[in-house]
Every structure is written in structure tokens, then in C-alpha cells.
Copies of this chain bind each other. A is one copy, B any other.
């Protein structure tokens, strides 16, 4: 089978396409013919060598795959050949709060990932795929969709009718917009592009803010919420955004920390948290149970994830470069 391998720290240029023997199958395992892989900013970080700790070993990158079950082990009871499945971000995190054991051996970072023609995973490490999604769409739930779910409905504790501020129009933010909209949550989206804001409104955004035109956007958030602030912010990181995100958040609200590669810049003011009883919550993707819950809402609300662009399997470097450019709206996907 064909697979990509990468030396963490070798950057995008380090991606190499190889022929390898397909892995063997144990009794509780399932062989999946991968049909699509979705990229995440984390994949760029792994390539650049900036994602958590790495032992520096060459690995198959990628965490988000959708494909078809083509063989099952003798003891498998949960899947049949022909089932459509997706990878889970943390194969050992079934449910509940994260632990070191649950988040071990993360594919595409601490273990081999999914940018390959085949993967062999345990039967309890896969989840089903909503029937109305094509392969490209189905590959986008694993990391970005689950992260948005966790930020909105687990850490963010958003109830129907609550409000959320979504920064920018990357993969997690657009997922957040679609999920919040389907769940009766009011959405405010920021971007520097009026064209992207227009697309966000078409996806259901209740209000939009161009942060170029309105640099003090936290004031506009307060104005839009009659001074109350939003119940949660999906903070994907950016210089100087954190202080504004906290100021945009209502009493008892949550700033869900999803990104912030270069640091947020500036010092956190303790009383901004205390006096408002606010919360900063680090979001480490999520569990199989969150992925399952996400599947249900995607199905019930007939959500189609927003695909920015699909690349062919031999164009993985181009796909990574496109993601790195920051020009995308929604997800970047590689067909396999």
C-alpha cells in the first residue's frame, strides 16, 4: 500500500510517499480502506516539530480519516465489511475527562497516523459516519468537528439559546458555527474579510464583525449582547486576542482555548477572571463519545461540513501548503 511518512521537524518538504506492506490484522481489529484525510493545523505543527513532545521518529502523519471496512478480525462484533467509519483522534479516549492513558499514542503525532491507503485499528477505536456525508465531508469530523463540539457543549456548557463568539473562519470556527446554529445557539463571527463574513451569514451566523474595520471588536460584542457578553468564545489564538476574548465574555462564561501557537501576547489580568467568574479552558480535541454525539447532531440537522478544497493523494505537500497559507474557509481535504 502507499503511505506518506514524515520526520517531525522536517517541514512540509519532509513528506514522502512510499510503498509499504499492509499491516496484519489481530482478532479485535478492523482493516479500513481510507478514502479521505482531512488536515488540521496540528499536522503543520507536527511537520514543523512544534507539536507537543515528539521522539523525532519518522511517522505516518494525519489524524482524520474516513473509509470503508474491508476486513474484520475474528473477534470483531461491532463492524461488518462495507461499513463506513472514521478514525478517532485519541484511540484510547472513549468518554469522560481526559487522562494521560486515554490520550496516549495519538495517531499522526505520537504514533502512526492515517495518511495511507489502509489503516488497521481496534474495533473500539472507530466511529460510524453519518450516511448523508460523502467521504471528503466524513473525514472532517475527527479533529475539527470534535474540538468544536467539546468547546461549545462540553467545556463551554452552552445551552440552546445561549451565545458564542467564533474567531475567524478556519476549520474549527466554521464547524462551531454550523453546530451552534443547528443547536439554537446565537453566533457572532469575526473575520478580516467581508466576503468570508458574508459566507458565514449564509451558514447561519447571527451577527458578524470585521476586526479590521472594528479593531476594538470586544466592544461590538458587548453592544450586540446588550452589555451582557457572550456565554463562550472559541479562542483559536492570535496576537492580542485573549484579552479581548475575555472582555467579550459574560459573567460565568468560558473562553475555550483551542489554539495560540505564538502565545496570546500580554499578561492575563486576574481580576478579569475573578470579578466575572470567567473560565479559560484548554480544549484537547475530545473523546469518542463526543464524536458520537457530533455524528448525531450532524445527522439530525443534516449538516454538510464546509470543504475549502480537495487535493489528490499525490498532492499532499500542496494540501499542507494551502492550509499553511491561511486562505481557506472551512476544511482542507486529501482524497485517497
Contact = CB atoms under 8 A, between A and B. Distances in A.
Nearest to A154: B159
A267 B270 contact: no
| A interface secondary structure, majority | loop
Interface in A77-123: 77-78, 92, 94-104
A287 to B, nearest CB: 7
Interface residues of A, number: 75
B287 A276 contact: no
A282 B276 contact: yes
A267 B264 contact: yes
A295 to B, nearest CB: 8
Contacts of A264: 267-268, 270
Indicate the member of A97, A252, A265, A277 with the most B CB atoms within 10 Å.
A277
A159 B300 CA distance: 12
A217 to B, nearest CB: 20
| Copies, count | 4
A161 B77 contact: no
Contacts of A237: 270
A274 to B, nearest CB: 4
A183 B184 CA distance: 5
A13 to B, nearest CB: 25
Given A97-B277, A182-B160, A284-B276, A260 B270 contact: yes
A296 B225 CA distance: 12
B275 A52 contact: yes
A280 interface: yes
Given A26-B26, A95-B102, 15 more contacts: A94-B102, A97-B289, A159-B293, A160-B293, A161-B301, A185-B300, A259-B274, A260-B274, A263-B267, A264-B267, A272-B282, A273-B281, A276-B282, A279-B280, A280-B281
